[in-house]
Amino acid sequence: MPRWPLSALLLAAALVFAGCASYGGRGLQPGVDGVAEVVAMMGEPALRWRDPDGSEQLAFPRGPAGVHTFMAHFGPDGRLQRIVNVLDTAQFARLQPGRDDQASVLRLFGPPVPQWTVYYEARDELVWEWAICDEWNRRARFDVLFDGRTGVVRSSYQLPDLRGRDGIAPWCSR
């Protein structure tokens, strides 16, 4: 059996993964590519919304290990308008505490990480959580809390201590 050098094995692995779905839609062209091309490149979306005017929005979450959720927006003609990462502070600022509900939060941020969804019975509060890359390129978590009694929505931000044995926290990339 031949022994392959490590560099050849790494190159082979990179080529295999390159054939998989694109993480953020790199190479897709607004105004040119349609829904079928985006899905072929990025994989099946977790959620889809169709508006009365025929425009469409698709959610591509990359968690729990990834720190992005990409929303692909299409015009009524079915052509890509834009792809944006919605797990950032500008998007978080669009949350309207006390006004947004679960459906609008899903449309803003995409689905939360299922393993991190928690219901606190004593408080009658549901918590959804997303892994994010904060403004300082640190892994953090963004939470949206739904009060079951009042319907009030609020949010929180966590910066968990993720330091390894060397005392250094991992960086991420927005």
Q: Give the pLDDT of residue 145.
A: 94
* Segment 2-17, tens digit of pLDDT: 555 545 444 444 444 4
Is the pLDDT at 54 greater than 50? The verdict is yes
| The residue to which tokens 């309207």 are assigned | 96
Domain map (residue ranges) of the chain = 1-85, 86-174
pTM: 0.80
Average pLDDT over residues 135-153: 87
Q: How far is CA 64 from CA 37, 88, 138, in A?
A: 25, 16, 15
CATH class of 86-174: alpha beta
Residues 64-74, mean pLDDT to the nearest whole number: 92
Is 1-85's fold the same as 86-174's?
A: yes
CATH of 1-85, one of 1.10.540.10, 3.40.50.2020, 3.30.1450.10, 3.30.565.10: 3.30.1450.10
Q: What integer pLDDT is reported at residue 19 of this predicted model?
A: 43
